[in-house]
Amino acid sequence: MSDEEVADQHRLIADRVTRALVERSTVQAVFLAGSVARGEHLATSDIDLLVVDADAGHAMSRSCEDDILVEVITHTRQEWIDRFDRPKASWLYAFLDAVVLHQVDDTGDQIKVAALDARDSYRASKQLRSELATRLWHGQAKLARVSPDDQIGMGYWAALCVETILDGLFTIHDVPLPAGSRRLAHLNEVPLTQRERVLLDTYLTGSAGDRFAATVRLCDHLRAELGGANGLP
């Protein structure tokens, strides 16, 4: 199947499922999200549909349409908007990337504007900063015990810290955390300092020893920027 046929098949299925969804009079908007909305999907990619329903609370369903997985997540308008104001606000990105397939009274456009406003006004919460500082606090002793002759150990611990370090960089610069699989895609939105950029480049591309050294320096830097762990100074 060609790339064009893949794109057409996924969009046709999304449109077909949407037509079935909007038979409910309470459905105010349907968004196509994820890789299909971004035009990055493959033949094996699933289809993500986000539904705004005036009456329905949280609901999620999965079905297989023409051998393609379709996931439908439903919330009321306010429930969706409330999800933008969380310590981990990855839903912002889902709506910023999404395509409106159906809307009543500009509901879909209004939610996209709300997502944009929430991203632009985002400030990392004390809760998130404390959570990340605590993870780094617990990790410092483990890093200190790694022998400089243990290449495997250095590579292992450097890899194990990727999520926390990237989350820390997003957080200290007050950029909302994207979903795990989208961290690198949105990393260019983080206004990294020159020192942070050099350390991060080494951390992601260097040898085991260089990556481990960059891990230690980044963790020290993030601990200083995040503040105390769970109220510790």
One-letter amino acid for residue 74 of the chain = T
Show Cβ contacts of residue 8 under 8 Å, excluding neighbours closer than 6 positions. none
pLDDT average, residue stretch 28-54: 94
Burial status of residue 205 (CB atoms within 10 A of its CB: 0-12, 13-18, 19 or more):
exposed
227: pLDDT confidence band, cut at 50, 70 and 90? confident
Across residues 163-192, what is the average pLDDT?
93
pLDDT the model gives residue 7: 65
Percent of the chain with pLDDT over 70: 94
Domain ranges (residues) in the chain: 3-120, 126-226
In this structure, are residues 93 and 182 in contact, taking their beta carbons and an 8 Å threshold? Answer: yes
- How much is the pTM? 0.85
For β-strands 68-75 and 47-53, DSSP reports them as: parallel
> Confidence band (pLDDT; 50, 70, 90) for 230?
low
H or E element in which residue 108 lies: helix 107-120
Q: Residue 5: pLDDT band by 50, 70, 90 thresholds?
A: low
Give the side-chain half-sphere CA count within 13 A for 230. Answer: 6
Q: At 88, list the tokens.
A: 């981990």
Q: Which CATH class is domain 3-120?
A: alpha beta
pLDDT band at 33 (very low <50, low <70, confident <90, very high): very high
